[in-house]
A and B are shown apart, each in its own frame.
Chain A
Amino acid sequence: MTVAGKPLSAQADPIETAKSARPNRGSLALQDLGSGLSKHWLWRAMAMQDIVLRYRGSVLGPLWLTLSAAIMIAAMGLIYSQLFNIDPIRYVPFLAVGLLTWQFISSVITDGCEVFMSVQHAIQQVRLPYTVHVFRSVFRNLLILGHNAVLIPIAFLVMGHGIGWEALMAIPGLLLLCLNGIWISLLLGMVSARFRDIPPIVAALLQVVFFATPVFWPVENLGRFRHLGEMNPLFAAIDIVRAPLLGEPTAPHSWLIVGIMTTGGLVMTAGFFSRFRSRIAYWV
């Protein structure tokens, strides 16, 4: 029988200590990433369920996502091709790809803010790798994009726009976007869990950015400021997917900008995650 304060001898090597955690925080973060990746069945199933449950009971189900995107593209395609005075045959495919890519990017970012707060309950009840929640969020948005992507060939067909082999370059582009989605979600998820002002700030910014970024208007329209528009990392992100699909050359620096953003973001988030991973459960 031990009464308060009398220490017992401890054997066994520590597997987790706050003191010795300082040097191996990085390896704990890496462990989290590793087991998060190996639990791919978990986040894949969760992401599928997110989508199925959101639309359970509705007649069209997840098709609503696609339908609303289709309506948006049709309406904007008609109006803005007039406003910008561009042939709809050129404009609609451009708009379809740009808008869907933007929707993917922006919902990855907004969901990223909620990535830990929305699963607060699970985080407080069971130990799961934190990266599982991040992969779930990015994968869910990728599934939605996959659905909506059927609109792209439809738009191309209707407008009689051809598609070539160079379209395949959109695949590495999309993979890069996912990689960026992972670090952004992880970083924003942590910061938002700690500072609750972040999600509304991000949501407000995204709205402004949508209009300020060449998503639904061609970057050429900026005239002599065109180069400035091409430096916008969000434009670059859309460009590396859109230009190959449309069979056009990407803007000169798009791949470079996205490459820098990916590397820089991953390095920064790795540091952040290693430092603050153990605090997430306390924050949410």
Chain B
Amino acid sequence: MASLHLQDLTVEFPIYQASGRSLKKALFSAPLVGSNLARDASNRIQVRALNHLTLSIEKGDRVGLIGPNGSGKTTLLKTLAGIYEPTGGALHIQGRISALLDVSLGLNPEATGRENIMLRGMYMGIHPKDMQGHVEEVVEFTELGPYIDMPVRTYSAGMMLRLAFAASTCVEPEILLMDEWLAAGDSHFLAKAQKRMEDFVQRSSLMVLASHSLDLLGKWCNKGLYLRNGNVIAYGPLAEVADIYQQSLADT
């Protein structure tokens, strides 16, 4: 039974570059612009990326994350994926997480396409033995032909995307976290990818997808979560949240 519960979840980043990351602790007083910057006890600048989030995502929910740049969408995904541990509040996760946040995860430019498929699998926690069974299917999907045995540094951006996409969608997801990264790729591939993506999303029992495209969210999501400056502005059925979002865009 997959579910995600956030209770008063807060994530704050210390920014070391701005203050004394170096041992010499160079004194530096940057003006604090923006509402979610603050200084902590030792005078470091803190960014509150997520501000006391409390919400539940249940099995069957397909949540579309929307919000302007810097609203905390990616941070929320990364926190749900367990990469950032919350600095305050609680996060309750039930189910196995698959996070597709970055295309180039684990891609090693010197290794061949085939080796990179295995690498990607390893990063996702799949034993090479289990991954072996998926390799041929992935190779076929990428349509890379003989390039699959060439080093990835010889690939074009689109080819790299195909490889990464196919490799990361070959296993059964339970909780699927995705950042929108289906931007590159030619139209033939895009159509094919969409088909595969749909299957992949169908198989997951819970999904959170961050995107700026309301069209895309409309196709794949049934709920919306509107974030701004790390605060939840609205959370509920997608159509209603999309309305609030568009209204607030029109207001500014």
Please list the residues of chain A having a beta carbon within 8 angstroms of any beta carbon in chain B.
1-5, 7-8, 10-21, 39, 41-42, 45-46, 49, 53, 56, 121-128, 194-197, 278, 281-283
Determine the distance from Cα of A3 to Cα of B84 in the docked complex, in whole angstroms: 25
Minimum Cβ distance to chain A for residue B150 (Å): 12
Tell me the B1-56 residues at the A interface (CB within 8 Å): 3, 5, 7-8, 13-14, 16, 21-24, 54-56
A126 touches B99 (CB 8 A): yes
A12 touches B122 (CB 8 A): no
Partner-binding segment picked from B60-68, B155-163, B200-208, B234-242? B234-242
B90 touches A197 (CB 8 A): no
Q: Which of chain B's residues has its CB closest to A12's CB?
A: B92
Tell me the B72-99 residues at the A interface (CB within 8 Å): 78, 81-94, 97, 99
Please list the residues of chain B having a beta carbon within 8 angstroms of any beta carbon in chain A.
3, 5, 7-8, 13-14, 16, 21-24, 54-56, 78, 81-94, 97, 99, 101-102, 104-106, 108, 110-111, 115, 119, 122-125, 127-128, 151, 231-237, 240
A-B complex: 7 closest residue pairs judged by Cβ atoms? A1-B236, A17-B90, A127-B82, A278-B85, A12-B92, A7-B54, A14-B90
Chain B residues, CB < 8 A from A1: 234-237, 240
Chain B residues, CB < 8 A from A18: 85-90
Chain B residues, CB < 8 A from A13: 92
A196 touches B56 (CB 8 A): no
A126 touches B81 (CB 8 A): yes
B78 touches A124 (CB 8 A): yes
Chain A residues, CB < 8 A from B99: 125-127
Chain B residues, CB < 8 A from A56: 110, 151
User: Given A2-B55, A281-B85, A12–B91 Cβ distance below 8 Å?
Assistant: no
User: Given A2-B235, A127-B82, A196–B21 Cβ distance below 8 Å?
Assistant: yes
Query: Which one of B8, B23, B84, B106 lies within 8 Å of A195 (CB-CB)?
Result: B23
Query: Which one of B56, B151, B231 lies within 8 Å of A10 (CB-CB)?
Result: B56
Query: Which one of A11, A16, A19, A46 lies within 8 Å of B122 (CB-CB)?
Result: A46
Minimum Cβ distance to chain B for residue A135 (Å): 14
Determine the distance from Cα of A123 to Cα of B101 in the docked complex, in whole angstroms: 12
User: Given A195-B21, A282-B13, A122–B110 Cβ distance below 8 Å?
Assistant: no
10 A-B residue pairs with CB within 8 Å:
A3-B234, A10-B7, A16-B93, A18-B85, A18-B86, A19-B90, A21-B85, A53-B108, A197-B24, A282-B84
Determine the distance from Cα of A80 to Cα of B25 in the docked complex, in whole angstroms: 44
Chain A residues, CB < 8 A from B110: 53, 56
Chain A residues, CB < 8 A from B87: 18
Query: Which one of A10, A49, A282 lies within 8 Å of B90 (CB-CB)?
Result: A10
User: Given A4-B233, A14-B90, A128–B84 Cβ distance below 8 Å?
Assistant: no
Query: Which one of B3, B8, B14, B123 lies within 8 Å of A122 (CB-CB)?
Result: B123
A10 touches B81 (CB 8 A): no
Query: Which one of A17, A41, A126 lies within 8 Å of B83 (CB-CB)?
Result: A126
B124 touches A126 (CB 8 A): yes
Query: Which one of B55, B94, B97 lies within 8 Å of A127 (CB-CB)?
Result: B97
Chain B residues, CB < 8 A from A12: 3, 5, 92, 94
Minimum Cβ distance to chain A for residue B157 (Å): 17
Q: Which of chain A's residues has its CB closest to B74's CB?
A: A124
Chain A residues, CB < 8 A from B3: 12
A16 touches B91 (CB 8 A): yes
B21 touches A127 (CB 8 A): no
